[in-house]
Amino acid sequence: MPAPRCPGCGARVEHWLEAVAAWQADPARNAWRSPACGHVVAAPRARWRHTAGFGRLFVEIPGIYPHEAVPADRLLDALAAATGVRWDYFYTGQ
């Protein structure tokens, strides 16, 4: 899995596994600070480029290989309307 990037400057999140573990242990206190721009970001807000995801609810569509298909805006909009929050997507390994 590629390393996530800072949403402020695009710098790679080095040691991202440790950053995710620290965030999971204490989400209110643990965030990653970009050494390039100083932007502070919690693990779910990093730019994962559709290679990982964080959430409380997931919809799995099996049989789709990474980057083979992209969810239609209509689907993401319907999910947002039904749940009241914005939806995004990511691919899992096969």
pLDDT in tens, 21-32: 988 999 888 888
More confident site: 56 or 94? 56
Residue 50 identity (one-letter amino acid): H
Indicate whether 34 and 74 sit together in one domain. no
User: pLDDT value at position 10?
Assistant: 93
Structurally, the chain folds into a number of domains equal to 2
Cα 90 from Cα 76, distance rounded (Å): 12
Of 3-7, 27-31, 43-47, the poorest mean pLDDT is in: 27-31
Q: Which domain holds residue 72?
A: 55-94
Indicate whether 16 and 44 sit together in one domain. yes
Indicate whether 35 and 64 sit together in one domain. no
| Residue 5 per-residue DSSP state | B
Indicate whether 81 and 41 sit together in one domain. no
